[in-house]
Amino acid sequence: MVLALDIGATNIRIAEVSGIKIKNKKIIPNPKKKEKALSTIISLITEYKKQPIGIGIASFMKFGIPVFTPNWDFSNVDVKSLLEKKFKVPVYIENDANCAALGEHHFGYGKGKSNFFLFTLGTGIGGGTVINNKLYSGHRGTATEPGHMIINGKHLEQLASGPASVQLAKSKDLKVKDTFELQALAKKGNKTALAVYSEVGRHIGVGMLNVAYILDPEIILLGGGFANVPYIYSSAKKALWEGDWANRKIPVMQAKLKDDAGLIGAGLLPRKE
C-alpha cells in the first residue's frame, strides 16, 4: 500500500493506493499559497498510517523538485526532502500528468500500448508520454508540457484550459463565473457557449496534432476534469484528423481512470524507481 497524493492547482487528492484499488480517499481545495499548501499536505498525511508516499504535483519538475508552478504558488519547494525528514518514510515525486500517464499505462486505455500521449486538461494543461513502454520525462524531468507549446502567439493553456474557456466566454458577452456555469449554458443549448467549447476543442486538437507530428503515438488520451466536458472532444478530434496530412486517424479517447489516474499513477511511483 502507498499513500498517494495528486496535488493539482485546484484540488489536493489523497488516498491509500494498491494497484487500482483506492481506499480512504479525500479531496480538498488547494490553498494555493506555499506555506498554507505545505501545512495542509502535512496535516493530511498525518491522518494516515505511516507508509511510503507517492506524489504527483502540477509543476515543471527538475531533478525531483517542483521548479515552476504557474497556476499556484509552490515553486522550488523540496517537498520530497521535507516529507522524508518529517515522516521518516521514502517519498517519490513526479509531475502529475506523468503520474496519470503511468496509471493509464498500467490500468487504463494505455495498457498494451507501447507509445501514447496523455493530455491533462484542467486549470492548466499538462501532458505525459510513454515511449517504448517507458514513461518519458526528459533529461531534467521537464519534458512533455504541451500547455506551454505556442499556438498563434500564445501558450496552449492560455487558449484551451478551464480558465481560458471562461475568459473566452466573457469576451463573447456571456455572464459566467466559472466552467460549471459555462457547461450549464452549453447543456441548455446556448449557441455562444457551444461555440466557445468548439473553439477551445479546436485549439486542443491543434496541440494534439503538434504532438502527433513529433511522437506519432498509437493513441492520444484526454484526462483531467476539463476533459469530461463532452462538447470539447468532437471538435478536438476533428482538428487533429483534418489537419493530419499523413491521414493516420490516431485514436483519441478519454482517460479510462478519469480523475483517479493521477492518484493511481502516484501509487505506482515506488515501483517505477
Residue matched to cell numbers 479510462: 256
Structural contact between residues 146 and 126, judged by C-beta atoms closer than 8 angstroms: yes
Determine phi and psi for 241, rounding to 5 degrees. -70, -40
pLDDT tens digits, 193-223: 999 999 999 999 999 999 999 999 999 999 9
Q: Which three cell numbers stand for residue 185?
A: 449554458
pLDDT at 111: 97
pLDDT tens digits, 67-95: 888 778 888 889 999 999 999 999 999 99
Fold of the domain built from segment(s) 2-98+260-272: Nucleotidyltransferase; domain 5 (3.30.420)
CA 220 from centre of chain:
13
Written as one string, the DSSP assignment of 2-41 is EEEEEE-SSEEEEEEEETTEEEEEEEEE---SHHHHHHHH
Is residue 170 predicted with pLDDT exceeding 80? yes
Please, where in the chain does CATH 3.30.420.40 lie? 2-98+260-272, 112-255
Q: Which three cell numbers stand for residue 272?
A: 517505477
Enumerate residues 6+ apart whose C-beta is below 8 A from 231. Answer: 186, 194, 197, 198, 201
CATH code, 112-255:
3.30.420.40
C-alpha distances out from residue 63 to 54, 67, 90, 265, Å: 16, 9, 16, 19
3-class DSSP state of 55: strand
Least confident of 9-13, 47-51, 104-108, 165-169: 9-13
pTM of full prediction above 0.85: yes
Is residue 60 predicted with pLDDT exceeding 90? no
Q: Which three cell numbers stand for residue 239?
A: 482538428
pLDDT at 39: 95
pLDDT tens digits, 65-74: 888 887 788 8
